[in-house]
């Protein structure tokens, strides 16, 4: 009889406890939404980070300034935070770039030096421009190389049009559009074959050969297929400057050089070499009360390239996680599990900050309940994959069920999904079997207009979408923290690769580069 009574009491109270938990969740979700909506700090934070500090190239003073700012900001919210050194990098600081055409007429050119480009040491270098030649083979190219001595070498293909395809589609006749595409494809293939005949393969090999031959500098244009946008990455030269010009100005120089008018440009780039400097991840946490040694991790890389100010790559991911932490501290200050946020550095050079964290903190990684990472722009989250974890559908769907329908209805899920082997910092955790998920955003022309470009700036942020992402992240973190169940790490059987006929393997853990930018 006692056993029967116990069973009866269980069935009597279990629904009541479930209802109580649901009500508690509803109240918490309402508080999260209210705080995010009526007291959003996204715009002040964005102004401080993106306008006040600016781009955050690994190894630069701006990166360290951002690390310190994040620690100070978290501490002002009552959240313990710290910078944790994980490696060293070549220290470099961007400064003013002056690039002018001084003959056959005068024009200031739109462009900038690339990251880690050598300085001209306060002087202006004026020299003629020269084009890469048409040669039969590598021997002919070697014979041509002395021609570059004392000249700026234009190494990019001139674009046949500065109008993106969508502009052609809107206004051109079908015949004209198709003709342009064919001419561009033919020109691109001819350029590829031209470079191939030089015999220099691998990133940076050609600029290094030109540098060795005595060139005054390297001029390129890495167009991003949209109005006014170029990809701005890094230089491979060690002694001479490398600059990137807008499509329009590069095309002008190229045509003048090609027609024999011998344009001359003047370049002054005043960057600074700072030796080898320490690199840091910024970490902050709200300590758990019941299971403090289990972790819900909010994740976003903090570094950026420095053509713009790193607004959508990955300022928006950073702001999402900071705002979510601020909200949680205010409305959910005593979580069951520890909620930790990681702002990783050197993601752009190979997920180095997060890989180092995974290597250095196996105790935390083994106790991860979930990792939520955001890294692909300002848009509202629209995709969430199970990353190959067999039972992710169970707990992810359970957590998403508490998200307001206006946000949840936008999110498409795919289970079990396929584990990401790279792309962003969630992959560092997935590789060691920790359940980590990418909150993947709506495009907003990210690949063309802001990803690694000179136009990745504050004004590209879509605030309503960003606010939705902060709400989603805070609710997922709350639900993961409260969940009475520990998440399953069981992996799904991955599909067969049709190209190889072999079953896809789970990604392997990759080691962080602990000392970078020096070779």
C-alpha span between 433 and 492 (Å, rounded):
11
pLDDT in tens, 109-165: 999 999 999 999 999 999 999 999 999 999 999 999 999 999 999 999 999 999 999
**Least reliable range by pLDDT among 36-40, 66-70, 318-322, 499-503:** 499-503
Structure tokens at 109: 């050119």
Q: Cα dist. 446→37, 145, 449, 462, 509 in Å?
A: 25, 39, 6, 12, 28
Alpha helices in 39-81 (DSSP H): 42-46, 61-76
Task: Mark whether 289 and 204 lie in a shared domain.
Answer: no
Task: Mark whether 318 and 226 lie in a shared domain.
Answer: no
Q: Is the pLDDT of residue 328 over 70?
A: yes
Q: What is the dihedral of CA 265, 211, 352, 420, to 10 degrees?
A: 80
Is 515 part of any domain?
Answer: no
- Residue 397's domain comprises 30-91+277-482
Is 216 part of any domain?
Answer: yes
Distance from CA of residue 322 to its chain's centroid? 17
* Phi, psi (deg, nearest 5) at residue 206: -65, -50
Mean of per-residue pLDDT scores for the chain: 96
**Least reliable range by pLDDT among 18-27, 231-240, 446-455:** 18-27
Structure tokens at 257: 């050089």
Q: Is the pLDDT of residue 450 over 60?
A: yes
Task: Mark whether 439 and 351 lie in a shared domain.
Answer: yes
Is 172 part of any domain?
Answer: yes
Which of the listed residues 217, 236, 270 is the one where a domain comes to its end?
270
Distance from CA of residue 349 to its chain's centroid? 10
**Considering the entire predicted model, what is its pTM?**
0.95
Task: Mark whether 42 and 143 lie in a shared domain.
Answer: no
Structure tokens at 209: 């050969």
C-alpha span between 375 and 387 (Å, rounded):
16
Q: Is the pLDDT of residue 389 over 70?
A: yes
Task: Mark whether 106 and 203 lie in a shared domain.
Answer: yes
Answer yes or no: are the C-beta atoms of 381 and 441 closer than 8 Å: yes
Is 141 part of any domain?
Answer: yes
Task: Mark whether 251 and 102 lie in a shared domain.
Answer: yes
Indicate the number of domains in the chain. Answer: 2
């Amino acid at each position: 009889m006692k056993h029967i009574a116990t069973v009866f009491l269980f069935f009597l109270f279990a629904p009541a406890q479930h209802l109580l938990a649901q009500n508690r969740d509803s109240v918490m979700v309402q508080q999260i939404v209210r705080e995010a909506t009526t007291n959003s700090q996204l715009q002040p934070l964005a102004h401080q980070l993106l306008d006040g500090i600016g781009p955050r190239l690994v190894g630069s003073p701006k990166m360290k300034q951002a690390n310190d700012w994040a620690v100070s900001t978290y501490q002002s919210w009552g959240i313990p935070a710290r910078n944790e050194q994980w490696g060293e990098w070549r220290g470099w600081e961007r400064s003013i770039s002056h690039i002018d055409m001084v003959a056959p007429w005068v024009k200031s050119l739109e462009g900038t030096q690339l990251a880690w480009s050598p300085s001209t040491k306060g002087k202006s270098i004026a020299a003629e421009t020269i084009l890469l030649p048409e040669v039969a083979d590598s021997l002919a190219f070697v014979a041509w190389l002395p021609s570059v001595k004392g000249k700026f070498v234009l190494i990019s293909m001139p674009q046949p049009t500065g109008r993106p395809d969508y502009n052609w589609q809107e206004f051109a006749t079908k015949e004209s559009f198709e003709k342009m595409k064919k001419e561009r494809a033919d020109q691109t293939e001819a350029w590829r074959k031209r470079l191939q005949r030089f015999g220099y393969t691998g990133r940076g090999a050609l600029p290094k050969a030109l540098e060795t031959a005595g060139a005054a500098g390297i001029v390129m244009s890495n167009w991003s297929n949209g109005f006014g946008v170029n990809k701005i990455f890094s230089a491979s030269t060690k002694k001479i400057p490398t600059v990137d010009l807008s499509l329009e100005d590069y095309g002008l120089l190229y045509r003048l050089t090609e027609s024999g008018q011998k344009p001359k440009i003047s370049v002054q780039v005043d960057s600074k070499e700072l030796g080898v400097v320490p690199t840091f991840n910024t970490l902050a946490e709200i300590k758990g009360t019941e299971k403090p040694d289990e972790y819900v991790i909010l994740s976003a890389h903090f570094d950026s390239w420095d053509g713009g100010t790193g607004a959508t790559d990955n300022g928006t991911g950073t702001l999402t996680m900071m705002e979510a932490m601020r909200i949680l501290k205010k409305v959910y200050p005593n979580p069951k599990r520890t909620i930790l946020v990681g702002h990783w550095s050197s993601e752009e050079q190979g997920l180095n900050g997060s890989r180092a964290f995974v290597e250095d903190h196996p105790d935390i990684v083994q106790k991860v309940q979930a990792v939520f990472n955001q890294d692909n722009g300002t848009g509202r989250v629209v995709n969430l994959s199970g990353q190959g974890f067999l039972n992710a559908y169970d707990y992810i769907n359970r957590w998403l069920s508490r998200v307001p329908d206006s946000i949840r209805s936008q999110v498409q899920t795919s289970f079990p999904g396929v584990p990401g082997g790279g792309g962003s910092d969630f992959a560092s955790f997935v590789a060691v079997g920790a359940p980590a998920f990418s909150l993947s955003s709506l495009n907003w022309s990210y690949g063309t207009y802001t990803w690694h470009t000179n136009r990745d700036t504050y004004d590209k942020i879509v605030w309503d979408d960003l606010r939705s992402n902060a709400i989603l992240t805070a609710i997922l973190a709350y639900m993961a923290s409260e969940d009475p169940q520990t998440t399953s790490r069981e992996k799904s059987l991955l599909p067969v690769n049709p190209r190889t006929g072999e079953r896809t393997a789970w990604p392997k853990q990759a080691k962080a580069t602990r000392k970078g930018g020096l070779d």
